[in-house]
Structures are given as C-alpha cells and as structure tokens.
C-alpha cells in the first residue's frame, strides 16, 4: 500500500525552503514556521481554504513564500532552544488561524512517546484523509538522521512494505523517503512527535 499527497512545487522545489529566508533567525530556526506555512498553502490549494494563504495561490512565487513566512514568524517564532514542544506549534498556529478568520481547522498533538506502530497508524490515517503531517524530531542517536535533528518537517506520503513503514517527507525544498521505525526510535527520553490536522465537525 502506497499513497502520496498531491503536493505543490515552488520555483522547481518541493514545497518551501527554509534556506530562502533572508532573516537570520528564520534561516537558522524557522523550520516550524515554514512547516505551518507549507500546511496552509497545501490546504489553500487542495482543500479550498484560500483564506489561509495571503497571496495568489494559483501562482506561488519564491518571494511570496518568503513574505508569508515572515508573517508567520510572530506566531511560531524561532527561539534559542527552538520550537521544541508540540504545544508551541499548536498554540502559534491556532492564533494564526484565528487571526485569518478560519473556523474549519483544528489540531491534535501526538507525542513521540507513542510506539512507532501507533505513529504509522495515525500517519496513514492523516495522509489517507488528505492531510500533511507536521513532524518534530529532537535528538537522535543514529547519525544517518543528522539532517533531521532538532527539526520540523512535513510528512506527505507513506508506503507499507512487508517489513517496514516508509514515509516521504518534505523539507528544505526536497522530498526524502525514510523508515519511520528508524526515525521514530530516537534513543532519547526527550521526544518530539506529530501534529494531526482535522476539519472541525459542524
């Protein structure tokens, strides 16, 4: 079983790219804000929530994306220790949604203390329902995941194989396929986790 969201491109890259940011703090620590921006763009484009993106959703330019990220910065601000808790993301994103008049979306925090099997199940449910999944990883003992240490990124697809559950993630303008089992088992007590989007029930 394999499924991937109909994701978006900007300037030939997969989603947005934190490296584009000219603001020093955003360039170094704006991954959470960028992940929220990318989620909003996806919802504006694929779920008809145009109010979430303040520019032309039919023609997303690199410069517009940079300006959008700067608008998101006050809501999900880079800080010395990073946006290292799920609640920092949800609280900031909720304020942004409220300020743009959204009454459709809500979020749930899914802690990294859950098992990898439970994480695989909720990621599958989210992708099947058409939601990208913001993912926070903190420290990791495996050097193969160095690029994802203390980092927010978006899960945009999955593949179930006989012996593993693979996820496709978008970050820094690229997509990468990783083993969820290996990624989830960080070897540290301090955990990150996932943000689960949903539309509110009427």
Residue 202 pLDDT exceeds 70: no
Domain 2-199 has CATH 2.40.30: no
pLDDT tens digits, 57-106: 999 999 999 999 999 999 999 988 889 999 999 999 999 999 999 999 99
Q: Residues with Cβ < 8 Å from 170, sequence gap 6 or more?
A: 7, 14, 15, 38, 132, 153, 154, 156
Domain limits, the chain? 2-199
pLDDT at 91: 98
Whole-model pTM?
Answer: 0.96
Name the DSSP class of 59.
S
pLDDT level of residue 2 (50, 70, 90 thresholds): very high
């Amino acid at each position: 079983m394999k499924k991937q969201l109909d994701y978006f491109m900007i300037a030939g890259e997969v989603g947005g790219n934190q490296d584009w940011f000219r603001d020093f703090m955003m360039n170094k620590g704006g991954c959470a804000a960028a992940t929220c921006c990318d989620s909003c763009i996806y919802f504006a484009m694929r779920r008809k929530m145009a109010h979430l993106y303040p520019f032309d959703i039919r023609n997303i330019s690199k410069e517009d994306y940079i300006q959008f990220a700067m608008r998101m910065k006050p809501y999900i601000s880079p800080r010395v220790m990073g946006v290292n808790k799920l609640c920092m993301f949800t609280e900031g994103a909720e304020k942004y949604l409220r300020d743009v008049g959204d009454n459709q979306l809500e979020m749930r925090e899914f802690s990294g203390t859950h098992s990898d099997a439970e994480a695989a199940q909720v990621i599958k449910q989210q992708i099947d329902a058409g939601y990208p999944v913001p993912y926070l990883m903190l420290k990791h003992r495996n050097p193969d995941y160095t690029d994802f240490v203390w980092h927010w990124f978006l899960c945009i697809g999955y593949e179930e194989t006989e012996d593993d559950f693979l996820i496709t993630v978008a970050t820094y303008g690229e997509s990468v396929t990783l083993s969820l089992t290996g990624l989830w088992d960080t070897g540290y007590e301090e955990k990150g986790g996932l943000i689960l989007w949903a539309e509110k029930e009427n």
